[in-house]
Amino acid sequence: MNRPTLRGLFQDALYQVLDNLGFRILFFLFLVPVLLSFVVSFRDTSIAILWYWEWDYAEFVRSATASSGLDAAARADMLANVRESLLQTLVDIVIEWGADRFGLVFGIAAISFFVPQMLEKGAADVIFSKPLSRSSLFLSRYIGGLLFVGILSAFLVGGITLGLAVSSGWFDSGLLWSVLALMYGFAIFHAISCTIGVFTRNTIGAILLTLVFMPINCGLHTGWEKLVTLEEVGAGRDAKTDEPDSAAFTFLKSGLTTYHILAPKTGDAMRMARTWRRSLESQPEFQDTELGFVVAQAPRDFRREWRSSFTREGLQWLAAHPDGAGEASWTLRCQSLDDTGPRSALVKKLRKELGADPVRSDISGRYADRFEWVEDRGGEKRLRRRWILQVGDRIVTLDYDAESGWGRANERETAATAFVAGISIQSEELRQLGGVSYDRKFGWGGPWQFNAWFSLGTTLAFVAAVLALGLLKLRRIDF
């Protein structure tokens, strides 16, 4: 096939897309979130619309926590992370729910006529009388579908990424991987739609059978993932016994495993995008997997003392005061209950020493007692704060020590609030399940059950086999 022929087939596929009513509808639907990403800006302290109307984050947090009983300190902790949380949530809703779910179904419905229309009486006579192979025409229709979703995905994801960068100063290059993920998921179902179109020569049949396959395929893979997860949890808890599995369970497991190996794993598309995205993200400042404790980032202008230990004297971050006063410090320490006694005893002891009651605070959704006081040290006024909370059978304390005037400056208070809000603690149940969950284990290395290369290879092999089946049937049709 020469170059002019290839160029003609490509242009024909492109025109099929641009002249498609479904393409135009989706384009204008996707235009809405793209425009909103430019006109709605997420600033450091507020949301602004058209750079005029503003909604303060503090008002949003007060409204959301009005009935929760949290005090001002706890709300301040939540406030520090509200901007990042809102941006991540909005992006996930638009891309994973809007484009990946609604856009995929709508796209299949919009272009399922590509192949059946080519095979209609009259149209087939004209098309196949041209000096082109049936395989070339069939594959050009398939490529046309990939162009359909590729153009729309690039417009939606690229537009939102650019809009958030311009209006909010928030740029996440990992989002661009979603374009490939959306095309990958669509390529699978589009191959099925094209082949069904060859067998049925009917647009409605191609649409309905493809849309029926989509939830069934996803449901069977989800069932297999749950089964593997339960087996992993059982192995981790030594729950297995010498009793053999029932015949029904063995049959179910074998059937789901066989299906998972042979069938396209469409749900892994976004998982792959998330792994690529995570590879571009910065690693947390500190992480303790046993306790599920994560410190997202170091306090601003503080440096970590790398010789310090979380479980001994405590992790320590230090900052020199600009006026030559003593160093400011953050200290995060974890101790067992056997060493410290119950949390209530620690709180009672500190309350007696300070002559003041703690205030209720919140660290990653957990109750914490927060003390604040000022002490004299060598003629210097020192601002002291201490959070005390219990995580399982451990007591965790967080101490802040700084020169009082320096520590109470607005920029220092904002940085301190952001540091505390960046601490997350996962529950024991979630740690047990999350450590063996399919999403958590899925990646480019490891056993085949969770291996992205295995998923990619078997899925592409399925797509190739489906297209080959469609080509074989097309060559045997006598028009």
pLDDT digits (tens, 9 = 90+) for 441-459: 788 887 888 889 999 999 9
Model pLDDT, residue 239: 47
pLDDT digits 0-9 by tens, 130-168: 566 788 888 888 998 899 888 988 998 899 989 988 988
Helices (H) and strands (E) in the chain, counts: 20, 13
Is residue 369 within 8 Å of 348, Cβ to Cβ? no
Please report where in the chains the tokens 């300070």 appear, as a residue. Answer: 354
Identify the pLDDT of residue 70.
Answer: 54
CATH 3.40.1000.10 in the chain, residue ranges: 293-425
Q: Does pTM top 0.75 for this prediction?
A: no
Residue 136: CA count within 13 A, CB half-sphere: 15
What is the CATH number assigned to the segment(s) 293-425?
3.40.1000.10
At residue 240, the pLDDT reads 47
Query: What is residue 462's predicted lDDT score, i.e. its pLDDT?
Result: 95
Sign of torsion over alpha carbons 345, 348, 352, 358: positive
* pLDDT attached to residue 17: 81
Helix (H) or strand (E) run with residue 391 in it: strand 380-391
Distance CA 386, CA 27 (A): 53
* pLDDT value for 400: 96
Residues of the chain with pLDDT under 50: 126, 239-240, 433-435
Owner of token pair 């094209």:
194
Contacts 24+ apart (CB under 8 A), 401-405: 401/328, 401/329, 401/330, 401/331, 402/319, 402/321, 402/328, 402/329, 403/321, 403/323, 403/325, 403/326, 403/328, 404/374, 405/381
User: Do residues 387 and 398 touch, judged by C-beta distance below 8 A?
Assistant: yes
- The reported pLDDT for the residue numbered 281 is 60
Both tokens of 71, joined, read 């005090």
Q: Kindly report the backbone phi and psi dihedral angles of residue 25, in degrees, each rounded to the nearest multiple of 5, phi listed first.
A: -65, -50
Residues 156 and 99 sit within 8 Å (Cβ to Cβ): yes
